């Protein structure tokens, strides 16, 4: 009797993954698996755009920090693409011309994820936890459907902010950012 052997594909290493061409939406390398991010939709894109503008208007002129959309960060055996990555100014990698580098091989100082319809909240929380474990000061998970912001900080601290006037926690270097969940979700309204 002949037995059929099933060929199991060899898992891709992080190095092999990084040699692959980028895709849209981005793919991430998490615990040896390749995970496709969902395509951002309207609420996701609106919050991401407004949040980046708000952060960068405060942080760029005095060279405190810089917020980046969908920036690949490779550290701790993973390669992830948070929806918003904020890095303190002195931690932004540069190339030999003094320009921002293409490759970011470190954790963000602040990672922000915006939950998309059908996206696994557990997987997103896992990514935020990975960032915190490797030195990220703060993580936000914004859920546009539930109208809440989950805030993660080192030491397993979790805060839940939902439709209120309480100022959301921010990293030390952006303590002046006074943003409430009410204001954040008001960005979704179309004026006029």
What is the chain written as a DSSP string? -PPPPPPPPPPPPHHHHHHSPP-SSPEEEETTEEEEPPPP-HHHHHHHHHHHHHHHHHHTTTTSEEEEES--EEETTEEE--SEEEEEGGGS-B-TTSSBPS-B-S--SEEEEEPPTT--HHHHHHHHHHHHHTT-SEEEEEETTTTEEEEEETTTEEEEEESSSSBPP--GGGTT---BHHHHHHTTSPP-
Each residue's pLDDT, cut to its tens digit, for the chain (192 residues) gives: 555 555 556 678 999 999 999 998 899 999 889 999 988 899 999 999 999 999 999 999 999 999 999 999 999 999 999 999 999 999 999 999 999 999 999 999 999 999 998 888 999 999 999 999 999 999 999 999 999 999 999 986 788 888 788 899 999 999 999 999 999 999 999 874
Task: Tell the CATH topology of 39-186.
Answer: tt1808, chain A (3.90.1570)
Task: Tell me the domain boundaries of the chain.
Answer: 39-186
């Amino acid at each position: 009797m002949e037995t059929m052997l099933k060929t199991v594909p060899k898992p891709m290493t992080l190095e092999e993954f990084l040699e692959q061409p980028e895709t849209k939406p981005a793919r991430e390398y998490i615990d040896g698996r390749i995970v496709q991010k969902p395509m951002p939709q309207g609420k996701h894109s609106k919050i991401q755009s407004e949040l980046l503008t708000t952060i960068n208007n405060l942080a760029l002129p005095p060279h405190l920090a810089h917020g980046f959309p969908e920036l690949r960060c490779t550290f701790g055996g993973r390669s992830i693409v948070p929806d918003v990555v904020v890095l303190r100014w002195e931690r932004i990698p540069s190339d030999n011309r003094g320009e921002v580098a293409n490759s970011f091989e470190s954790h963000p100082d602040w990672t922000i994820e915006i939950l998309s319809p059908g996206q696994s909240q557990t997987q997103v929380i896992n990514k935020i936890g990975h960032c915190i474990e490797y030195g990220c000061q703060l993580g936000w998970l914004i859920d546009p459907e539930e109208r809440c912001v989950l805030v993660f900080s080192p030491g397993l601290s979790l805060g839940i902010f939902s439709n209120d006037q309480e100022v959301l926690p921010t990293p030390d270097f952006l303590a002046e950012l006074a943003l409430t969940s009410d204001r954040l979700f008001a960005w979704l309204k179309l004026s006029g």
